[in-house]
Structure 1
């Protein structure tokens, strides 16, 4: 779908079945949510709807003039926007489980509330997901304040899926593939993309350990692997729930990252201050490291 331009905003809008449900968990981030919604408003195709699940301490994040304006823009463009207050908070995994239960489209984009998307990113992710046969394709967030900070050692694990088809693989701490996590630190992927020299509008898929903050799933594949239904096996203070879900999907369907990535991390302070429990380690364990030890598999963005 081409988004409805301003000349048509005053006309009645007929809802159409969405190809993508964009799912946004938010908490205490009105300014960041407004920027995230502005990025969505700049996307052309595929058809998408937006569901926001808010767990703010006081008023919801969308109760801010900038966020409210962006909701109105999306609705004028023909997108359905649902604003859901979801309390009490039971942890990140339960919040994602709730959002997934409220999705119906063939693909679901889990988008954090502090990510701006370059125009064309949603179309690129959707095209890559369809052509690759993967269970998910993610756009790793870039911290643009780190652009002067080149880290060749952290970029070394970069490896393309040369055929364009994504194969299932097992990722665990201490096993092959886990070292790829460094690719998504700072602005490493931006430096990788500049070396690839791809023509404008073209992308390639590469091998990942996991992708945070902006991930498009085949909804059937995600549900087939249990989704985030494991939330009740975790204490509320956890992180790494997306890692656990992705590792399960990768073993059965495969997963990949998209390069170049036009997903920009806003670099606001994290709202996930309690990372006592590592969900991926609790649920899936690892090799060579005791559960809970070593590098956190869900570090704050752009460290």
Structure 2
């Protein structure tokens, strides 16, 4: 693990063969109202590094010129997404860490609202689900159910065989965007809701993520897998609670996945609950 960070948030960005999208993501970080963060990028691009691309180099320089610490790291060989995330978490030293995919555009107030929310709720994570606006004309009322947290966010057990798993439909296509538009929220107003999981932009309490093992389950998965972020969130949510934030403020660039083989889904092949994990270790 790296030395103590002077920042409140370490932004952890895993990337592979997406230099142009990474540049957009870094530009969005530069434009954040929230200032107290460091950026750590772990690059697994091959054959060349994303850091060799002019647009990425330029954005790294712009972030640094704006007073943000930037840590560009090459991390090879590729051993799967879970190992990549475990590596990034090992570099984090701030009290909070934002796992941000390399194909996400953030509105300027997003990180500030995530940070204020997790500090107020003292839960394990708060996330901004990604809007896919190529679906903006695809309105799906049957997938727009939303369950708001009316009080403090509490621990909650969710698993692939639970009824709460169906909440994931809210994050498909542009469903959340359509719900958001219908709420009529005032500028700066934020509401929290129950989730199954959130992909792409999730702010964790670093100690709470580590307390459930982080992504240390990576050796139990083949290199080609998916759902590693989901599994970590489910474990954090069971012990410490987690929620989604609306308005989200996060947009998916909708590039093709870098993981085309998705037969091995982490939360469906590895234990989710603490009881199940304890049973396997007994």
- Tell me the TM-score normalized by structure 2: 0.93
Residue 109, structure 1, aligned to residue 131, structure 2: no
Match in the other structure for 2:159: 172
Taking the TM superposition and a 5 Å limit, the aligned residue runs for 1:20-169 are 20-156=9-145, 158-163=146-151, 165-169=152-156
Taking the TM superposition and a 5 Å limit, the aligned residue runs for 1:202-217 are 202-217=189-204
Aligned length: 269
Which of 217, 224, 247 aligns to 1:230? It is: 217
- Tell me the TM-score normalized by structure 1: 0.87
Cα RMSD, aligned residues only: 1.2
Residue 186, structure 1, aligned to residue 211, structure 2: no
Which of 166-175 and 60-69 deviates more?
60-69
Cα 1:262–1:23 shift into 2, 3 Å: same
Cα 1:58–1:144 shift into 2, 3 Å: same
1-side partners of 2:89 and 2:254: how far apart?
A: 26
Match in the other structure for 1:289: none
Match in the other structure for 1:270: 257
Could you tell me which runs of 5 or more consecutive residues in structure 2 were left unpaired when the two chains were aligned: 274-282
Which of 84-93 and 269-278 deviates more?
269-278
Match in the other structure for 1:13: none
- From the two aligned structures, give the one with the greater helix fraction: 2
2-side partners of 1:38 and 1:96: how far apart?
A: 22
Match in the other structure for 2:277: none
Runs of 4+ in 1 over 4 A off after TM superposition: none
Could you tell me which runs of 5 or more consecutive residues in structure 1 were left unpaired when the two chains were aligned: 1-15, 287-303
Check whether the contact 1:142–1:189 (CA below 8 A) recurs between aligned residues. Answer: yes
